[in-house]
Amino acid sequence: MVKPTPHNQLPTKEALASRLEEAKTKPRVRLNFSDGRSEEGAITYFHEQQKGKIIDVNREFASDFFLKELESIEF
């Protein structure tokens, strides 16, 4: 079971956006979502629209995401 992070301990929107810009250059990252989901793969991210797509070629999976849905980014 995933334990939610207290709201006051979540990273700022600007910190997450900066981390996403760096993550775009990585071959594989893990996105952890506020609702407890976690997805791994390569990402695209459009700063102006605050949205992106995570793609896992091995699983043949792709999903859109919004910056406001993210809790953390690992790479």
Question: 72: which 2 tokens?
Answer: 């953390």
The CATH code that applies to domain 10-74 is 2.30.30.100
The answer on pLDDT for 52 being more than 80 is yes
- To the nearest whole percent, how much of the chain has pLDDT over 70? 85
- Confidence bin at 48 (pLDDT 50/70/90): very high
Whole-model pTM: value is 0.80
What is the rounded CA–CA span in Å between residue 2 and residue 61? 22
Looking at residue 21, what DSSP letter applies? H
Q: Which residues of 3-33 are buried (b: 16+ CB within 10 A; e: fewer)?
A: eeeeeeeeeeeeebbebbeebeeeeebebbe
pLDDT in tens, 9-22: 666 889 999 999 99
